[in-house]
Amino acid sequence: MFALVESGTITQFPKGNKGITIGDNQYPKTIYTLWTEAERNAIGIYTVEIDSTNRKDEEFYINTDITYAFGSGKVTGSYGTATAKRLNDEDAVDENGDKVKDSDGNQVINYGLKTKYKNQFNAQAAGLLAKTDWYVIKAADVDSYSVPDNIKTYRAAVRTKVNAMETSIDNCSDVDELITLLTYTEQEDGSVTRPLGEFPKEVV
């Protein structure tokens, strides 16, 4: 990405795919590929340097637009302070602050990150349990059949784990705590784990 600086002010952002007119001079597009940075700077063209210091994971934060500035002989694009996404659910309201209802008269909810991730892990648990549902169905249909103990233990462990995950997520007081809970890191023994933990190993 390039910027044209005239009289100390950024006036446009050439894409670098076609020539450009600066004052009375016409320059070919090759200035972006064949000229050195110093040669481009001499006519007011600068390569934009993006400062991503304030940029955060968009899964959890809303980043600002990039602000461009010229100074110290270079053009820099910087992000402002990112805003954390909503952690908890809240009632939806309109521009007047009145609560928003759906067509059935129920309150519309703006769901937060906690609900998003609890729903995600509940769906994962449901998928794991579905693989062994046939044992339970067979036991209900066939009087002489009972669910094997290892299957019972596994299904109970899945439910226990997802409940623990929900509790851990609910206990997060801010977005950074949630990020830490979900983030995998390498341990001293070389294993890669996250504070949230994992579901038990599948049994089928």
Q: pLDDT tens across 168-181, in order?
A: 999 999 999 999 99
Element (H, E) at 47: strand 45-51
The pLDDT of residue 173: 97
When pLDDT is averaged across residues 88-105 and rounded to a whole number, the result is: 95
The pLDDT of residue 204: 76
Q: Determine how β-strand 185-186 pairs with β-strand 192-193.
A: antiparallel
Can you give the pTM of this predicted structure? Answer: 0.84
The whole-angstrom separation of Cα 179 and Cα 176 is 5
When pLDDT is averaged across residues 79-107 and rounded to a whole number, the result is: 96
When pLDDT is averaged across residues 98-121 and rounded to a whole number, the result is: 96
Residue 43 has pLDDT above 90, yes or no: yes
Query: Which of 41, 28, 117, 123 has its CA nearest to residue 75?
Result: 41
To the nearest whole number, what is the mean pLDDT of the chain? 97
Relative orientation angle of helices 175-182 and 113-130, to the nearest 10 degrees:
30
Residue 54 dihedral angles phi and psi, to the nearest 5°: -90, -5
When pLDDT is averaged across residues 14-21 and rounded to a whole number, the result is: 96
